[in-house]
Amino acid sequence: MLKHANAWKDRFPEFAGCRDAVVEQLMAAATLVTVPAGQQVFYPGKTCEHYLLLLSGSVKAQILSADGREVLLYRVLPGDSCVLTTSCLLGDSQYPAEGYSETDVSAFAIPAHVFHRCLQQSAFFREFVFRNFSTRLADVIKRMAALSFASIDQRLAQTLLAADGPTIHKTHQELALELGSVREVVSRHLKRFESLGWLNLQRGSIEILDAAALRGLLTGGD
Going residue by residue through the chain (222 aa), what tens digit of pLDDT does each one get? 577 889 999 999 999 889 899 999 999 999 999 999 999 999 999 999 999 999 999 999 998 776 677 888 899 999 999 999 999 999 999 999 999 999 999 999 999 999 999 999 999 999 999 999 999 899 888 877 777 767 888 889 988 998 888 999 989 988 988 887 888 889 999 999 999 999 999 988 999 999 999 989 887 644
Give residue 87's Cα distance to chain centre.
15
Residue 211 CB contacts under 8 Å (≥ 6 apart), including other chains: 161, 166
- What are the structural domains, with CATH classification, of the chain? 5-148 (2.60.120.10), 150-218 (1.10.10.10)
* 9, 170, 208 from 205: Cα distances, Å: 35, 6, 10
Residues 6+ apart with CB under 8 A from 49: 111, 112
Strand order in the sheet with 167-168: 167-168, 205-208, 199-202
